[in-house]
Copies of this chain bind each other. A is one copy, B any other.
Amino acid sequence: MSATNPVAHTGGTGVHQLGARQCAADEEDRQARAAILRLSEPGDGLLFLAVEVFGAAGLLRAAQRGRWTRPEAEQLDATIRERGLSVRPGMFGAALDRWKVRLEDADGVRDLRGMARLGARLVVPSDPEWPPGLADLGLEQPLGLWVRGEHRLDRALEPSVALVGARAASGYGAHNAGVLAYELCGHGVTVVSGGAYGIDIAAHRHALSAARHERGHPGTVAFMAGGVDRLYPRGNADVLEEIARRGLVVSETAPGMSPMRQRFLQRNRLIAAASQATVVVEAGWRSGALNTARRAAELARPVGALPGSVHAAGSAGCHRLIREGAAELVTSPDDVLQLLPGTGLDADPGHQDTLAAGAGDDLSDLEKRLFDALPVRGGSDISTLSNRAGLPVPEVMSALAALELRGLTVQAARGWRKNPS
């Protein structure tokens, strides 16, 4: 299996037993995805949709053919209609023309072999270690992730907190990034960040330092905007190499590709979706870290931001997020831990059971659905609940009213939660 499947046994603890035929099909899919990741830019929704319809290998064949067959075109049209997507006719034709451009460079087998020599593997959605949170990205889900490191990706990310912020960090920001990273790791939480100077690298350094004390703790996961073989910026290469050895370095960009502005922005969506909460440590009014925070908020992930002096330009972005209600003000590792879903739940598991038992019978399906979406700790506002329960706001409100009358929900400082009594 070694020549055609160089990665099957490098996936940390994620080894699975499959029949030989299934295994070959999986491997064709993995090779096709490795090739496709070079064809397009991250976050290409049309590409994701086409792969969903035809499979990765099918899409690759279409690109190699250079045009859609009539049945393929009809199948795409039908999918667009079924899902009610606003895709204009001809867009898939134009997309295929774009994807063809890099076809000559796209060789999945070569990339998988080359990366295996570097100790990197391609993780694909069918792998057990695929992080489940990425599904929340919808059409913007990545088709695969190049990963360097020994740990299983999904387990490394649970629980995890993204610490993001400005490259031009102040001493205040870098210090706070370090303290948060160190303390979070000490509580078994993995840090997630990019690879940039400033907040990112300060968080990574201290996470690595804390992880030295804990056997089997990955410490930190770095999401790159370029290929995992081109650790960027070069000035951080030593830290990023250490993360590749002891934590995880991840990218959806094909090997050898350099980071570009659009790739940084798309990389931010992975940080937001892969982690369970995002904290902006220090950020100016227009910092890219705000983009990560907003993506996280759109994905209904808790977002925190550290305050600072009202005169510090480097805190203006954090204050902006807090003012807009996009982030909660956090001042300490404890505050950040409280952002994580289910925090404190383990301390008293009886509560959840009691509630589940008491709440079941006399509720409508809609009310049960909302009840399930309510957090046990903290509070969620109506738009978050609407998002989480997948119910329109008026229905969320009438269901909340019903739950409130039954004493099953209480209002917290910033929203609603289950009533523990």
Contact = CB atoms under 8 A, between A and B. Distances in A.
A414 interface: yes
B323 A329 contact: yes
24 contacts: A172-B309, A176-B310, A306-B310, A307-B307, A307-B308, A307-B309, A307-B319, A307-B329, A308-B309, A309-B309, A310-B331, A310-B332, A316-B331, A319-B331, A325-B414, A382-B411, A393-B404, A393-B411, A394-B404, A397-B397, A397-B398, A397-B400, A397-B404, A398-B398
Given A176-B310, A310-B331, 7 more contacts: A307-B307, A308-B308, A310-B332, A323-B331, A324-B413, A393-B411, A397-B398
Contacts of A411: 382-383, 393
User: How many copies are assembled?
Assistant: 2
Given A307-B307, A310-B331, A411-B383, A322 B322 contact: yes
Contacts of A328: 323
A24 interface: no
B383 A394 contact: no
Interface in A293-350: 306-310, 315-316, 319, 322-326, 328-332, 335
Interface residues of A, number: 34
A258 B219 CA distance: 59
A78 interface: no
Interface string A335-379: 100000000000000000000000000000000000000000000
Nearest to A331: B310
Contacts of A1: none
A382 B400 CA distance: 12
A405 interface: yes
Contacts of A172: 309
Contact of A413 (B316, B323, B329, B401): B323
A407 to B, nearest CB: 12
Nearest to A330: B323
Contact of A405 (B308, B331, B394, B404): B394
Contacts of A382: 411
A307 B332 CA distance: 14
Contacts of A414: 325
Contacts of A397: 397-398, 400-401, 404
Contacts of A176: 310
A300 to B, nearest CB: 15
A404 B315 CA distance: 35
10 smallest beta-carbon distances between A and B, as pairs: A307-B307, A325-B413, A394-B401, A310-B331, A397-B397, A397-B401, A325-B414, A322-B329, A324-B413, A319-B331
Contacts of A307: 307-310, 315, 319, 322, 329
Contacts of A404: 393-394, 397
A401 B391 CA distance: 13
Contacts of A322: 307, 322, 329
A323 B335 contact: yes
A310 B307 CA distance: 7
A329 B329 contact: yes
Contacts of A383: 411
Nearest to A310: B331
A176 B310 CA distance: 9
A309 to B, nearest CB: 6
A396 B326 CA distance: 24
Given A393-B404, A397-B398, A411-B382, A308 B310 contact: yes
Nearest to A318: B307
